[in-house]
Amino acid sequence: MKKVFQEFSNFLKQYNVIGLAVAIIIGGKLNQLVTSLVNDLITPAILQPVLTKMHLGKIEEIQWHGIYWGRVISAALDFLIVALIVFFLVRAMNKAAEKAKLAAELAAKKLEEKVKREKD
C-alpha cells in the first residue's frame, strides 16, 4: 500500500497535477467573471440603446430566422476578453523570464570577472 501512495505522489509531482487543477479552477472562475462583465456591465453600457430600440432586454435575445445572434455576439465578447487577459498574462510572464535571464547572465559575467581578477 505504501508503494501505491509513493507512486501516486510521484505522479502528482511529475505531471504537476496540483498546478493543473489550480489552473482549471482559476480559469473557470475567470470565465464566470468575464461572462458577468460582458452580460452585466459591457453589454448594457454599450448596447443598451440598440437593445431598447429593438425592444429587447438582453443581447442573448437578438435573433433572426431562429438563430440567436445575440448569444454568438456575447460568446465572442467573452472569448475576446479572455484571450486578451491570457495574452497580457503570458506577455508579462515572458518579460519577467527575460529579465531574470538577463540578470542571471549579468551575475555570471560579474562572477567570472571577479574570479579572473582574483587569479591575476
Domain range for 82: 2-91
Identity at 44, one-letter amino acid code: P
Quickly state the pLDDT bin for 98 (edges 50, 70, 90). very high
Q: Is residue 31's pLDDT more than 90?
A: no
Q: Is residue 77's pLDDT more than 80?
A: yes
Confidence at residue 96, expressed as pLDDT on a 0 to 100 scale: 94
Average pLDDT, the chain: 86
The residues, ordered by sequence, that sit 6+ positions from 47 with a Cβ below 8 Å of its Cβ are 59
Is 62 part of any domain?
Answer: yes
Is 116 part of any domain?
Answer: no
* Rounded distance between C-alpha atoms, residue 97 and residue 76, angstroms: 31
Q: Which three cell numbers stand for residue 40?
A: 452585466
Is 56 part of any domain?
Answer: yes
What total of structural domains would you count in the chain? 1
Is 110 part of any domain?
Answer: no
Q: Is residue 91's pLDDT more than 90?
A: yes
- For residue 116, the SS3 value is helix
* Rounded distance between C-alpha atoms, residue 17 and residue 11, angstroms: 8
CB atoms within 10 A of CB 106: 10
Nearest to 35 by CA among 85, 82, 90: 82
CB atoms within 10 A of CB 30: 14
Q: Which three cell numbers stand for residue 74?
A: 456575447
CATH of the domain at 15: 1.10.1200
